[in-house]
Structure 1
Amino acid sequence: MISSGEPDMSESESDPSPVPSEFTLQAVSIGLLIGCLLCFANLSFGLQTGWISMMSLQSALIGFLISRMLPIPLTAQEIIVVQTTAVATGTMPLAAGFVGIIPALKLLDETRDGSPPINLTWVAAIGWSCSVAFFGVFLSPPIRKQVIINEQLAFPSGTATAQLIAVLHKMPPPDTSVRRRVGYIAVEEEDTDLPTEDPTDEGSASESVQSEGWHALTSSFAASGTLTLIAYFFPAIFSIPLFGTYLARQWLWTFTPSLAYVGQGIIMGFPTTLSMSLGMLMGWGVLSPLAKLSGWAPGPVGDMTDGARGWILWTSLAIMCADSLVSLLPVLAEYVTGLFPRGQQTVKEDYDVETEDRLVPMTWVVGGLLVSVVLGTFLVWIVFGNDGIKPWATLLGFILGGLLSVLGVRALGETDINPVSGLGKVSQLFFAWVQPGNIVANIIAGGVAEAGAQQAGDLMQDLKTGHLCGASPRAQFFGQLIGSAVSILVTTTAYSLYNRAYVIPGPSFPAPTAYVWLSLARLLRDGELPENSAIFMISFAAVFSLVSAIKTYTARSQLWYSQWIPSGVAFAIGFLNTPSFSIARLIGGIVEHVYRTRYTKNKSDIRLIVIASGFVLGEGVVSVVSLVLKTSGVGVASCWGCLPGLCGGCPA
């Protein structure tokens, strides 16, 4: 625990105000600004690839840079409020299902699914978002005491952010030996390492960030944004036939030289991008041609219905489910064992140094949970009606979501992986039994569970950072509530604009995870699989069950080589995304690995992370500019070099 960052207990006890001192207008405003930028970026990237960035560490870093421009720079505790607010705002596209659930409902077929496509209006989407936006926030405070204070789970990303904040503010480093990882979540995966800071480098790191940070951030932001804008007018730039026009046209082997995806690869790290690329090679280099040439997927390769892309989706789904469930088993076993303690119990020391006025009162928690569940059930009924999902079934979804959130938070604390997508699929399995034959209910129930698990996990990572740096849990709680509320409007409006300008799912925004949600719901109802896909699903699920078990064991044993064991979820994402995105991310992963192992001598050197953040934010923000141009009727300047169907926005 770092002493200089902890609050003054005497002042805290004498101050009757329920609002902590670090909960300031400046901190919340900067957090909302960063969060809105992240929200735009995450919505765009999520609809393209199904992978979004939590970016806790990056939010803290950018918040620090912005605060240096203020007359009185923000304290370390205020920066944590910035980070918490930004993460809550930026991850709503996943929490409210705009990158998966909402597009999946648009894909419904009345003849096949018993329900026509559901296209939510702006008002309906606001109602749905409100129903799931706050449930997970109120779940976090009661879990904090157990997993952060009593058990002191690692929460590597939260610890990494605390280490960064300590370095930037020249504070003693947190007393921890946890391996650092950058806060990055996919549909549910993150796995990348950064070296732990050397305390002797604290001053130089802080000065380096202040002197070079803005230049690196603005330069990378401008470069990424400019390239994105040029690619809007000349789409062929983002669809390069890397291995020739035949492989590009027939088998979708193109390359997108997007700096944003290179930046994502840097943030994700080499081990994760390597796993994703191995999945790309297996899915698009082996299984896709096999399915096409064997006649199992007779349609065009990119068709999600009867093409090879739709065929390999099932193997991806099997890998994802197997990996998520196996990684949860040790957590579930420990949780169940803890419910039935044996032998003499010792009283654990209470390590919580917070006073009551800095904690979230249980009356708020209980009241908030009741209101969010009742209001959420009512809003879901208003939006989808009895034919969509019964109110009692929605209520069950919230209860199950709460239970699954506990597992997700514990998994996140121990492994740095929040398996929200896997937890959503567990909910789908449950509702296939509770409300059989109702695909809409199946998808919605999965979305409720996913939202609760993700938000509870997000805030728990942030609470870990706050615990190490002495920030008020109540201030962070306020920050997440405000961030979630604002993001409802921002995310819904942005999605509505995208939906007007583009076909979703479509060529520019394929929303691959939407097909995962819908395919599993259909499978649970009908039990029908594409030809010869079952044997591959079973085989790959068995292999990655073993791989996941080994990876989980080695990670929990803190063995150095655990990061090099393939990640099942990242491997499966390589199937879902076309090769163009995976190749760009692999380049970023290689850059990160080479820079970290060959070129940087200073363990506190975070310039590459600053540049990567600029790359991601630059394309995400300029994508909104592209959206405005598209809505205004400003189209591409030239389709020269475009291959039919492969260039987003180009009719060629």
Structure 2
Amino acid sequence: MEPSTPPAATHHLWGMEDEHPSTERVFEGEPVPSRSETITVRSVAVSIVLGCTLSVVAMKLALTSGFAPSLAIPSGLLGFFLPRLWVRLMNSCEASQLPFTRQENTVIQTCVVACTSIAYSGGFGTYILGMSKDSAEGGVGGDGLNVEEPHIGRMIVFLLLTSFAGMFAIMPFRNSLIIHRRLTFPSGTATAHLINTMHTPQGAKQASQQVAMLLKTLFGTVAWSIFEWFFSGGEGCGFQAFPVFGLSAFRLGFYFNFSMTNVGVGMFCPYKITISMLAGSLISWGLIWPYIQTKEGDWYPQGLDGDNISGINGYRVFIGISMILADGLLHMLCILVRTLYTMYKQQENPQPRQSNNGQPFQCLSAVLDRTAYSFDDRRRTQVFLRDRIPTMAPVIGYMVLSLISTVVIPQLYPQLRYHHVAFAYIIAPVFAFCNAYGNGITDMNMATTYGKIAMLIFSSWVGLRDGGVVAGLAACAIIVSNVSTASDLMQDHKTGYITLTSPHTITICQAAGTALGCVVNPVIFWVFYRVYNSGAHDDSNSIGPYAKVYRGISVLGMTENGLPKHTMLLCKIFLALALSISVLREVSTHRRWRVRRYIPSTIGMAVAFFVPPTIPVGMVLGSAVIYLWGRCDRDDMRLMSPAVACGLICGDGFGSLLSSMLTLLKATPPICIMFVSRGVNESLDAFLAAKGMPS
């Protein structure tokens, strides 16, 4: 999974550190609530309900599209609406209630996002499924130590061990990143501005409108999902295969499957990403793969399953991997160079100054300098620095958790030995800090890239004979969980900084949400996995499209045996092509060339090489809706589009869950609707007429 893109409606908030007029002047008469007034029965109950509910949506996304759109906006909106509804109900019962504050709203949002993010960082749609026999079928290392089937108990223990380490690793740098370096953390800043706005009189009205739109879209999508289910009574039946581009394109995989998830994700993503994905699908599924299929029997054996890594799927996976690695490594290198340059300039000139992008960089020694800070900055810094944590406390916590993991993880995955796990925990804090710093500057979470690098290192270190495939995937899980959790914590601390929420409270809620997610998400995954594994869904690409990709990266670190002919040659060609496009994009962006607008996203094109074309088709439709809506009423689009997109995604997730429950209950759809060509329809009519049946 790749980093998410903040919703279009929040793009104008990026980089805004000080509001005009002052935000804190509006709230100046309100005292900062204590921890007991912030972490209440109300906030805990709402956090659990929303965390479990949105985790279903996040898991559905992780197992189907593989994308990870930010759920911070729906969490903030619903975390505002439900407690206010709670307060009204209690007031109608004449029960005394604490006032609902923006700090409590932040607590709910933090807990919910921490819970739902485990659906992505936990790797359920990637390395967990990548270890399974289905992903390994017919490929290199398809048996023995290189296969580990998912087990719910093992997943819970593993997540509890790996998900908390990143919090301890980044905590010593909290003040440095938020106060001293004054990093923007755009997603956290945008969420904080949303929460601050909703708790003003005008903001409350807009929030009610957004929540109403979200609920309408959600229930409409659920109703459509139930309607679809009634017409899917057989293989190839239903609206999931609507040949909107004709039957010739349908046979190549280009059709609309009425997945509202893909439409919603497309409404979130920038136009360049969706168009790049569609272009990548046209190049790969429309040209390259049909050509390679003509070489069946020459380049690879005949009669292989479409998912066999030794067949055409090997080209799909490894060409896509090479392009992802090229773009990811170049992007990581650019972030590292930019970060080191920024740190060097700060060391060279430590006095408070104004950077080119308008973001102030100030030292902690200037905290009380009233001329250097605005009222908002002084107020926020005062609250943020009020809570202090001894420097050695998180260090000791990380060391203890590392020792426990070094002992326990080899029992869960014997392919990883004790020294492997210890080395992973030694390098994880370095990756966590680099990723958190880069995330604060660019809002790009590169946790998966660090994980892929670790996967290559550990799989080649262990070797195929000793289970290197599973070892690489498990090591990837350790690194991704550490790195991703660290960035999430800093984003939440930035939100807490702007909303005057205690850092200790944020940390406690982050830990509580993470613990809840480590238990809830494996249970949700197990439900989806049992449904898909039962054979109810015939589309092999319908679950875990990235699982084979991650397994392929792990195999790539060890051997070339078993791959079809010319695989590595094609990988090198496309790696060089992707690197060239990425370099051109970086240079044109830096020099502000006009051509930069027309350079496609390398990562978007790469993803389209191995995901079915139906995903880009749905996403492009979502982008088209945003474009046309913006042409008609731009202000209404910016206000309501996040709510509509979230409603589509959430509704599709709930609808899928209902369909899954019906499947588990052995219910079968009563009707089959199928699209065929005119010639086939005439032949079918003739057949039915010969049988004396009405056509």
SS of corresponding position for 1:99: helix
Q: Which amino acid aligns with 1:444?
A: A
Q: In the alignment, what sits opposite 2:650?
A: 617
Whole-Å separation in 1 of the counterparts to 2:305 and 2:150: 30
1:357 & 1:223 partners in 2: Cα distance? 47
Q: Which moved more, 1:22-31 or 1:276-285?
A: 22-31
2:146–2:470 contact (8 Å) kept in structure 1: no
Query: Whole-Å Cα distance in 2 between the matches of residues 256 and 286 of structure 1?
Result: 22
The answer to whether structure 1 residue 406 and structure 2 residue 408 are counterparts is no
The farther-off stretch of 460-469 and 361-370 is: 361-370
Q: How far did residue 317 of structure 1 move?
A: 0.6
For 1:368 and 1:514, the matched residues in 2 are separated by 32
Partner of residue 121 from structure 2, selected from 95, 105, 120:
95
Per the alignment, in what secondary structure is the counterpart of residue 525 of structure 1?
coil
Deviations 1:452-472 (A, max 9, x none): 121112222222222223222
2-side partners of 1:215 and 1:593: how far apart?
22
Query: Is the 8 Å Cα contact of residues 170 and 432 (structure 2) preserved in structure 1?
Result: no
Residue type at the aligned position of 1:244: G
Query: Which amino acid counterpart does residue 496 of structure 1 have in structure 2?
Result: W
* Shift of residue 356, structure 1, vs aligned partner: 4.9
CA contact (8 A) 1:45 1:51 kept: yes
Among 323, 326, 336, which residue is 1:319 paired with?
323
CA distance in 2, matches of 1:162, 1:342: 27
Counterparts of residues 405-484 of structure 1 (less than 5 Å): 405-437=432-464, 438-484=468-514
Q: Do the aligned partners of residues 587 and 376 (structure 1) sit closer, same or farther apart at CA in structure 2, a change above 3 Å counting?
A: same
Which residue number in structure 1 is paired with residue 558 of structure 2? 525
The letter for the 2-side match of 1:613 is C
* 1:279–1:142 Cα change, 3 Å: farther
**CA shift for structure 1 position 404:** 1.6
Q: Provide the C-alpha distance between the structure 1 equivalents of 2:400 and 2:221, rounded to a whole number of angstroms.
A: 43
Distance 1:398 1:79 in 2: 34
* Contact 2:192–2:499 under 8 Å retained in 1: yes
Distance across 1 between alignment mates of 2:480 and 2:564: 27
Q: Which residue of 1 aligns with 2:12?
A: none
- The reply on whether 1:22 has 2:49 as its aligned counterpart is no
CA shift, 1:265, in A, is 1.1
Q: Using the alignment, how far apart are the partners of 2:564 and 2:508 within structure 1?
A: 48
Partner of 2:269: 268
* Alignment pair present for 1:74 and 2:106: no
2:570 aligns with: 536
Deviation at 1:530, TM superposition (A): 2.7
State the secondary structure of the residue aligned to 1:585: helix
In the TM superposition, residue 32 of structure 1 has moved relative to its aligned partner by 2.9
Distance 1:302 1:338 in 2: 48
Once the two structures are overlaid, the 10-residue window that deviates more, 515-524 or 499-508, is: 499-508
Work out which of the residue numbers 572, 581, 595 in structure 2 matches 1:547. 581
* Matching residue of 1:373: 402
Give the stretch that moved more between structures: 420-429 or 161-170.
161-170
Do 1:315 and 1:537's aligned partners in 2 also have CA atoms closer than 8 Å? yes
Matched, 1:394 2:417: no
- Cα distance in 2 for residues equivalent to 1:342 and 1:595: 44
For residues 422-460 of structure 1, what are the alpha-carbon distances to aligned partners after superposition, in whole Å with 9 as ceiling and x for unaligned?
111111222245433322211111111111121112222
8 Å CA contact retained: 1:136, 1:453: yes
Change (3 A) 1:569 1:147: farther
The correspondence for 1:223, drawn from 220, 224, 229, is 220
For residue 486 of structure 1, what is the amino acid of its counterpart?
A: L
- For residue 382 of structure 2, give the secondary structure of its aligned residue in structure 1: coil
Comparing 592-601 and 263-272, the one that deviates more: 592-601
Which amino acid is the alignment partner of residue 273 of structure 1?
T
CA distance in 2 between counterparts of 1:559 and 1:426 reads 32
Q: Contact 1:266–1:585 (CA<8 Å) still a contact in 2?
A: yes
Q: How far 1:522 sits from its partner (Å)? A: 1.1
Unpaired runs of at least 5, structure 1: 171-202, 644-652
Structure 1 residues 121 and 301, CA, compared in 2 at 3 Å: closer, same or farther? closer
Q: What is residue 329 of structure 1 aligned with on the other side?
A: 333
Structure 1 segment 34-183 matched on structure 2, within 5 A: 34-71=50-87, 74-106=100-132, 107-108=135-136, 112=142, 114-115=144-145, 117-170=147-200
In structure 2, the residue matched to 1:586 is 620
Moved more, 27-36 or 57-66: 27-36
1:511 shift after superposition: 0.9
Paired residue for 1:628?
661
Counterpart contact for 2:38–2:104, Cα < 8 Å: yes
- Residue 563 of structure 1: CA displacement? 6.8
* SS in structure 2 at match of 1:153: coil
TM-aligned CA distance change 1:582 to 1:635, over 3 Å? same
Identical counterparts, % of pairs: 23
Q: Cα deviation per residue 1:66-89 (whole Å; 9 max; x = unaligned)?
A: 233132663222222222111111
SS of the residue 1:313 aligns to? helix
Could you tell me which runs of 5 or more consecutive residues in structure 2 were left unpaired when the two chains were aligned. 1-17, 88-97, 233-237, 352-361, 368-380, 677-695
Change (3 A) 1:458 1:111: closer
Superposition deviation, residue 558 in structure 1? 8.6
Distance 2:211 2:343 in 1: 50
Residues 588 and 73 of structure 1: is their aligned pair in 2 closer, same or farther, counting only changes over 3 Å? Answer: farther
Q: Indicate the residue corresponding to 1:179 in structure 2.
A: none
RMSD across aligned positions (CA): 3.1
Does 88-97 or 229-238 show the bigger shift? 229-238
Comparing 95-104 and 567-576, the one that deviates more = 567-576
Distance 1:308 1:238 in 2: 24
Q: For this pair of structures, how many residues does the alignment match? A: 602
CA contact (8 A) 2:129 2:150 kept: no
How far apart are 1:566 and its partner, in Å?
Answer: 2.5
The SS at the match of 1:60 is: helix
Distance 1:370 1:532, change over 3 A: same
Change (3 A) 1:99 1:383: same
